[in-house]
């Protein structure tokens, strides 16, 4: 997390500073930066994104969250799009096809959170531009496909980011730390939206072990 979170409030001890609204204090310290949260499925990336966004909201910064229209699993009864964790922590989100569709709308906000960043092909250009224009950008994304190939527009952000957090999940087979995602259904498409019915987190050893299907179990 950025080191500027605590000092603006903690050091405002003079009489003039103590009368200054929190947002005004933030304005003196706020700088653009890029925070990258990566890892396999079920590693808590969206949970960490929501946690950071709520912390910035508590600091009275203007925050917005966006997600790809490709992932339409989570909407409420009013068709409001949501960022949702697998244990159903939720935060309202703006659905987009491309990040550039926002135009300059993001300039009204201090912090922009992007969930499932691997679905945005213009991720690199938007994040770099927004951070250069003074925005805090937080991206939660898969860093690799089910074949352990890189999502290149996500990995290209690593040398541009102030912080990179690589999370691990729990291997669905043996319980070890899981760094990879294995697909359970027959599809070669790189982008295939799904949950535990389609994917499982696995460690290195279990990833390289041939997947045994239910039908094969019955035969054996």
CA distance 112 to 67: 11
Taking the C-alpha atoms of residue 134 and residue 183, their distance in angstroms, rounded to an integer, is 38
Q: Per the annotation, does 56 bind a ligand?
A: no
Active-site entry in 33, 48, 100, 116? 116
The alpha carbon of residue 157 and the mean position of all alpha carbons in its chain are separated, in whole angstroms, by 13
Give the C-alpha distances (Å, rounded to integers) separating 80 from 72, 88, 92. Answer: 10, 15, 7
- Whether residue 116 lies in the annotated active site: yes
State the DSSP string of 155-216.
HTTGGG-SEEEE--EE-TTT-SEE-EEEE-SS---S-----TTTEEEE-HHHHTSPPPPHHH
C-alpha 218/C-alpha 220 separation (Å) is 5
Which residues sit in the known binding site for substrate? Answer: 199
Task: Give the residue numbers annotated as catalytic, written as ranges.
Answer: 116
Which residues sit in the known binding site? Answer: 199
């Amino acid at each position: 997390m950025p080191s500027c979170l605590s000092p603006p409030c903690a050091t405002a001890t003079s009489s003039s500073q103590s009368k200054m609204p929190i947002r005004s204090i933030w304005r003196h310290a706020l700088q653009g930066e890029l925070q990258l949260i990566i890892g396999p499925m079920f590693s808590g990336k969206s949970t960490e994104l929501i946690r950071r966004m709520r912390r910035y909201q508590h600091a009275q910064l203007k925050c917005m969250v966006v997600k790809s229209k490709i992932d339409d699993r989570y909407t409420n009864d009013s068709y409001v799009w949501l960022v949702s964790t697998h244990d159903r922590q939720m935060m309202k989100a703006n659905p987009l096809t491309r990040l550039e569709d926002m135009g300059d709308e993001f300039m009204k906000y201090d912090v922009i959170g992007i969930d499932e960043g691997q679905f945005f092909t213009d991720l690199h250009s938007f994040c770099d531009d927004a951070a250069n224009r003074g925005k805090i950008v937080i991206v939660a994304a898969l860093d690799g496909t089910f074949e352990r190939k890189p999502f290149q527009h996500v990995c290209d952000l690593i040398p541009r980011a102030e912080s990179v957090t690589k999370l691990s999940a729990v291997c669905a087979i043996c319980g070890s730390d899981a760094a990879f995602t294995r697909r359970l259904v027959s599809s070669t498409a790189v982008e295939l939206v799904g949950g535990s019915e389609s994917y499982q987190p696995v460690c290195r050893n279990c990833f390289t072990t041939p997947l045994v299907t239910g039908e094969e179990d019955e035969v054996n």
